[in-house]
Amino acid sequence: MKEGFRQSMAWLHTWSGLLVGWVLFLIFAAGTSAYFRDEISLWMKPELHQSSAAFRGDPVVVAGQAQHYLEAHAQGSNRWNIRLPDGREPGVSLFWAVPQAQQPAATAGGEQRPRRMRLEYATLDPATGERMDAPRQTRGGDFFYRLHFDLHYMPAVWARWIVGFCAMFMLVAIVSGIVTHKRIFKDFFTFRPQKGQRSWLDAHNATAVLALPYHLMITYTGLVTLMFLYMPWGPQAAYQGDEQAFFAEVFPTNARNIGRPSGTAAPLVPLGGLVRQASDAWSGHPVARIMVTNAGDSSARVTLFQENPRGVSSKQATMVFDGATGALLERRGEVLPAASETHGVLYGLHVARFDSPFVRWLFFLSGLAGTVMVATGLLLWSVKERQKYAKALAKGGRIGWGLRLVDGLNVAAVAGLPLAMAAFFWANRLIPAGLADRSPLEIACFFAAWGAAAVAGIAWPARRMWQAQLAIGGLLFALLPVLNPLTGGAGLWTTLPQGLWAIAGFDLTVLGLGLALLACAWWVGKRKPASKGTRPAVARPAAREEPSLAPEAEPGLVTANQALQPTGATP
């Protein structure tokens, strides 16, 4: 702390944000889109668009229809799941586990173990009980939800450790940024365009302060959601290694492990009657989901999950019935321990599964602000670092390899990731709907597009590369509302008059994102590169200038367009 406490905090803020900034950009972008993952999944299944009107039907009747279908098509399965329709999911979603083979699989040591289960899916029309046209196979919005903490193509445990490490750095960057900028709220109302470094700093400050409570909340609660992975020692010590007992006490609403069937056949009681009984016991609160284990056996169990009445908390009350007799066996989660309720609130804040569309939109906009905050922070570092090479660049020299690498990674993340996300939606519509294993192919297209953008950006991190990738990503996003009706979906002229807001909202949102990216590409393109012999202008330092994120740098040394120049030499 040779330069003082706030200067040390400025250094800590800079490096804690830069070292993990590209991963944080992915986490923010993918996590923000996950607030509307149900709507994204619906858009990516155009076969369901014409049946997406908000018709929930009578839950008692709908549960009976689902039971009838599963008894006919899911024989031999030891687990059924029924998701009743709601305002965001119009159909009755069914999935059930099916053994891949009856015989056990042999392990390397010669032991026999049961083969892995595979899942079968179906969607029923709540109005008729008939199966809808089989929608195309896709991960939909769940891909982005899992991507923001599982990162894909790596073991989930490794990915979650990496994400937790980056989240801790993010928390350090936020706190140190608050300490560094004592005029942070004043700076929020200040934006000075075309001022080089100062403009980037103003944009970074504005997006940071605009949603500062959200940034603190989302980072801290993200760590809390995986706290038992990062800090398992307390439960292990208190419960002497019996973690199952700990989770059963802290999370009483979680379903118990599936027991073995008794081998005695017994018909399953009507699910509709159990739904009515549970709803009456919950003072009219509807049932959101039904899980049936060992259907058709005397050991069958039916677990009903209450539609979340707690608002912010993610915890759901449950009722467990004997599947053969209909007797109520257990009620869980109606009164939770303080620790469990606290965890439910923190987790609920992070995932934002609120009934209120207004709150989810508020979270979505705050997430976009966080994404822009990370992007401007990365670009700000490049702008300031380039000042060290201002004289060499003016004479046609080159910059260091570290700055060139950061420039390339900035192009790959900030411009390449939106391009890849748009390519993912295009792949959803252009890959044949009936193709087997098309979900992994959609995901492969996402990473192929991102990989190509990253290689191009790192190889040539120039202003024209920024412009090209932003323009391509903007066009792909902006044309999605046109692609939608051309590939079997419901267009805006259908969804807006009929009030199909889930589909219309997606089209309008991607149109807005596409126009924003095109505007950025236009802005980058209209910035004229500095002439080869032009000396950079040096701004006169103001009296009592507050320290920036890099206090040794003077504002105004490098213009914004120079930050997007080729890293080899100034053209």
Spell out the alpha helix ranges (H) of 295-410: 338-351, 357-386, 390-394, 401-410
Q: Which residue has the tokens 């044309």?
A: 479
pLDDT band at 558 (very low <50, low <70, confident <90, very high): very low
Q: What is the pLDDT of residue 54?
A: 53
Residue 13 has pLDDT above 90, yes or no: no
Rounded Cα–Cα distance for residues 413 and 407 (Å): 10
- DSSP character at residue 545: P
Tokens of 492: 């805006």
Q: What is the pLDDT of residue 353?
A: 75
- The crossing angle, in degrees rounded to 10, of helices 156-180 and 212-225 is 150
Q: What is the pLDDT of residue 470?
A: 96
Rounded Cα–Cα distance for residues 491 and 508 (Å): 11
Q: What is the pLDDT of residue 395?
A: 66
Rounded Cα–Cα distance for residues 141 and 52 (Å): 17
Residues 282-293 have pLDDT tens digits of 888 888 899 999
Q: What is the pLDDT of residue 188?
A: 62
Weakest-pLDDT range from 150-159, 211-220, 247-256, 449-458: 247-256
> How many Cβ atoms from other residues are within 10 Å of residue 286's Cβ?
15
Question: Average pLDDT of 499-519?
Answer: 94
Strand partners, 302: 292, 321
Ramachandran assignment for 73, one of left (phi > 0), alpha (psi -120 to 50 degrees), beta (any other) = alpha
Query: Which has the closest alpha carbon to 363: 35, 143, 30, 87?
Result: 35
Residues 369-380 have pLDDT tens digits of 999 999 999 988
Name every residue whose Cβ is closer than 8 Å to that of residue 390 and which is 6 or more positions away in sequence: 536, 557, 558
Query: Which has the closest alpha carbon to 246: 227, 259, 260?
Result: 227
Rounded Cα–Cα distance for residues 302 and 326 (Å): 9
Question: Average pLDDT of 502-521?
Answer: 95
pLDDT band at 546 (very low <50, low <70, confident <90, very high): very low
Q: Is pLDDT larger for residue 362 or for residue 85? A: 362
- DSSP character at residue 540: P
Q: What is the pLDDT of residue 348?
A: 86
What length is written for the chain? 571
Rounded Cα–Cα distance for residues 156 and 112 (Å): 26
Residues 210-263 have pLDDT tens digits of 889 999 999 999 999 888 889 888 888 888 878 777 877 777 666 555 667 888
Highest-confidence segment of 120-134, 193-207, 331-345, 467-481: 467-481
Q: What is the pLDDT of residue 220?
A: 94
Rounded Cα–Cα distance for residues 476 and 492 (Å): 17
What is the pTM assigned to this prediction? 0.80
Spell out the alpha helix ranges (H) of 122-281: 141-150, 156-180, 184-188, 197-210, 212-225, 227-230, 233-238, 243-250, 271-281
Residue 107 has pLDDT above 80, yes or no: no
Q: Is 234 exposed, middle or buried (0-12, 13-18, 19+ CB in 10 A)?
A: exposed
What's the chain's Rg over C-alpha atoms?
A: 27
Question: Average pLDDT of 396-405?
Answer: 78
pLDDT band at 9 (very low <50, low <70, confident <90, very high): confident
Residue 302 has pLDDT above 90, yes or no: yes
* Strand, helix or coil for residue 35: helix
> How many Cβ atoms from other residues are within 10 Å of residue 182's Cβ?
12
Highest-confidence segment of 182-196, 289-303, 381-395: 289-303
Rounded Cα–Cα distance for residues 177 and 13 (Å): 6
Question: Average pLDDT of 72-99?
Answer: 83
Tokens of 34: 């996950």
Q: What are φ and ψ of residue 332, in 5° steps?
A: -125, 155
Q: What is the pLDDT of residue 561?
A: 38
Q: Is pLDDT larger for residue 123 or for residue 389? A: 123
Q: What is the pLDDT of residue 310?
A: 54
pLDDT band at 332 (very low <50, low <70, confident <90, very high): confident
Q: Is 280 exposed, middle or buried (0-12, 13-18, 19+ CB in 10 A)?
A: exposed
Q: What is the pLDDT of residue 536?
A: 43
Q: What is the pLDDT of residue 179?
A: 84
Percent of the chain with pLDDT over 90: 38
Note the maximum CA span of the chain: 90
Residue 43 has pLDDT above 90, yes or no: yes
* Strand, helix or coil for residue 242: coil
Query: Which has the closest alpha carbon to 304: 283, 339, 328?
Result: 328
Ramachandran assignment for 57, one of left (phi > 0), alpha (psi -120 to 50 degrees), beta (any other) = left
Q: Is pLDDT larger for residue 304 or for residue 199? A: 304
Residues 336-370 have pLDDT tens digits of 777 778 888 888 889 887 767 888 899 999 999 99
Q: Which residue has the tokens 């599964």?
A: 353
Is residue 205 within 8 Å of 188, Cβ to Cβ?
Answer: yes
Weakest-pLDDT range from 179-193, 312-326, 373-387, 398-412: 179-193
Residues 15-25 have pLDDT tens digits of 888 889 999 99
Question: Average pLDDT of 531-559?
Answer: 38
Over the range 314-341, which residues count as b (16 or more CB within 10 Å of their CB) and which as e?
bbbbbbbbbbbeeeeeeebbeebeeebe
Percent of the chain with pLDDT over 70: 80
Number of H helices, E strands in the chain: 23, 9
Q: What is the mean pLDDT of the chain?
A: 81
Tokens of 84: 């009743």
Is residue 33 within 8 Å of 44, Cβ to Cβ?
Answer: no
Ramachandran assignment for 505, one of left (phi > 0), alpha (psi -120 to 50 degrees), beta (any other) = alpha
Rounded Cα–Cα distance for residues 459 and 476 (Å): 23
- The crossing angle, in degrees rounded to 10, of helices 197-210 and 357-386 is 160
Is residue 553 within 8 Å of 447, Cβ to Cβ?
Answer: no
Rounded Cα–Cα distance for residues 290 and 272 (Å): 11
